[in-house]
Structure 1
């Protein structure tokens, strides 16, 4: 199938072309660096399929334009699909697939890295030594050993994060509507979300973004956290009310914040804005805090994970073209 590949960086082009070749080069891939939005949808003219990314716009207006161009299949190079209007896709007869699974270690390990970096102020220390400043004042952290870590969302990634934290000697608490026996097997204990917030020295978010979880971290829940808690988010930006998090940082209720995702990231992430004026005042305030680390949605970005994402994307195209069932990869 002729497929428009949006938001295609160099690594996307190289690895997706390689996966396509390994599968018999059945698809004509049209690589576009542009993000998919109402203004760029026309670039898919002549294509039967679209391969999108997590911050591409697949709302009703875009899907209608793609449908009018003859696009019948959309595959997203991500696990999450909250950027896709699935109801509109069904109405228009567009099949939608996702990457149901890729290396969960990539995100779990990165979350641990963020926690260590913000707790032990590693980035700040590195910047100091580059300038010849080897002073320790202001760099004190705390031992993770013996601390309580709350994990919200104990699926594959959350359970792996919990396993790593248990290895540090932490007490691990969990919250999930679907309890995971693997989490309990490593010594994790399920508690109410309120109890988790109140008891945890560290809280790490690993749940999907749904209407039920949007802003699950808000002014009210932050007021109920253990004073001096560190919050880590490598899942979805919309899980956190950023303004409320900023207020908690100012008051000291939060000791630190480490995020790889941001609610308004679509206009910022996956591009070089170092020579432009960033007009998002919220992100500008966040990065001004010495106890905040913001990274640009890179937790998934390992050789293993990217390889799996590209292979699954080609498998999705192959299965749709052949009329084979997509199983858990099917979204709409």
Structure 2
């Protein structure tokens, strides 16, 4: 059987081809699945998609009309999927949480120590320290919103820095509590934290969890990091606060309107997103293109899970990765 994989990065292609070798042929496309590209899948029973795929009702109906029976998404999040329309779909329920947690800390330290500005200066042989003053993390307070696997990994690193730990989640993680984390109301976490990192999924209840009110509660010199989903932050409200001179730094690996932008080269045509264009002009802001998960370890685990999802589908097995019912055994 030939499987069609959408949104495959150049680094991923040999890994995917190797993982399926001897089992199935795989056709890798660098285009992302959306309403315009969905017809390409006609005739493919199984397709694989990336995190930025559009799996709304219209796309799912086009896929079904073309004969697609199973979708294996190479990500854990599923906020891009209309689950009421999808019938047979599996995701990757788990991959290395350290990839995202470590990258979140990379963003935090980069804005704290002004790494981008410093590196840019030294390329011009400007070795002044003016404007590069950072601060120690030891003894300061880390606020972790969402303490699942990734939040726990982030917390362990914060503990290693010697930080005070505040957490907020629907349920406490005993591993975080054992590290000294105190679970508090979200309002207190926002008000007392020097560093706030987001690690919750994007759900109706968490969309814009960091909105105008939440931003107003934060310290003027706080650091905010988001390596989860862009929709957790009201970007327009964030820009308003940044224009007022607030926050030591903001590190964003995700953006709420990233679809159609992230993973693509827009350098020659530019973008017409005024909010994003303004956001990247702030010297205390770093925006990266949804790459926190992008390590050899995590991508390898994602691909291995995708191969297992396909095998489970063909065998009629249900696994923890299945979001909707599997087919009967074939």
TM-score range, shorter chain: over 0.9
The corresponding residue for 1:7 is 7
Distance in 2 between residues matched to 1:134 and 1:253, nearest whole Å = 27
The partner residue of 1:330 within 319, 322, 326 is 322
Distance in 1 between residues matched to 2:107 and 2:29, nearest whole Å = 32
Structure 1 residues 91-240: aligned runs within 5 Å: 94-240=87-233
Q: Is the 8 A contact 1:150 1:202 kept in 2?
A: yes
Query: What is the CA distance between 1:189 and its match in structure 2?
Result: 0.9
Q: Is the 8 A contact 1:5 1:50 kept in 2?
A: yes
Q: Which moved more, 1:221-230 or 1:257-266?
A: 221-230
Distance in 1 between residues matched to 2:59 and 2:292, nearest whole Å = 28
The corresponding residue for 2:45 is 48
RMSD: 1.0
Q: Which moved more, 1:267-276 or 1:48-57?
A: 267-276
Distance in 2 between residues matched to 1:131 and 1:74, nearest whole Å = 49
The partner residue of 2:268 within 267, 275, 286 is 275
- Deviation digits for residues 277-309 of structure 1, max 9, x if unmatched? 211111111110000000011111111011101
The corresponding residue for 2:83 is 86
Q: Is the 8 A contact 1:149 1:165 kept in 2?
A: yes
Distance in 2 between residues matched to 1:11 and 1:224, nearest whole Å = 41
Correspondence 1:297 to 2:294: no
- Deviation digits for residues 145-164 of structure 1, max 9, x if unmatched? 11001000000110110110
Distance in 2 between residues matched to 1:43 and 1:61, nearest whole Å = 14
Q: Which moved more, 1:177-186 or 1:149-158?
A: 177-186
- SS of equivalent to 1:3: strand
Distance in 2 between residues matched to 1:269 and 1:258, nearest whole Å = 16
Query: What is the CA distance between 1:37 and its match in structure 2?
Result: 1.1
The corresponding residue for 2:328 is none
TM-score normalised over the length of structure 1: 0.96
- SS of equivalent to 1:254: coil
Query: What is the CA distance between 1:254 and its match in structure 2?
Result: 2.0
The corresponding residue for 2:242 is 249
- SS of equivalent to 1:282: helix
- Deviation digits for residues 1-57 of structure 1, max 9, x if unmatched? 432110122222211111112xxx322312222211111111111110110011111
- SS of equivalent to 1:221: helix
- Deviation digits for residues 45-73 of structure 1, max 9, x if unmatched? 11101100111110000000111111111
Count of aligned pairs between the two proteins: 324
Distance in 2 between residues matched to 1:179 and 1:95, nearest whole Å = 32
Structure with greater helix share of residues = 1
The corresponding residue for 2:32 is 35
Distance in 1 between residues matched to 2:12 and 2:151, nearest whole Å = 27
Distance in 2 between residues matched to 1:304 and 1:45, nearest whole Å = 32
Query: Could you list the runs of 5+ residues in structure 2 that have no partner in the other structure?
Result: 325-330
- Deviation digits for residues 127-179 of structure 1, max 9, x if unmatched? 00000100111111111111001000000110110110111010010000021
Moved over 3 A (4+): none
Distance in 2 between residues matched to 1:105 and 1:292, nearest whole Å = 23
TM-score normalised over the length of structure 2: 0.96
Distance in 2 between residues matched to 1:8 and 1:141, nearest whole Å = 38
The partner residue of 1:74 within 71, 81, 91 is 71
Query: What is the CA distance between 1:226 and its match in structure 2?
Result: 2.0
Distance in 2 between residues matched to 1:8 and 1:253, nearest whole Å = 38
Query: Could you list the runs of 5+ residues in structure 1 that have no partner in the other structure?
Result: none
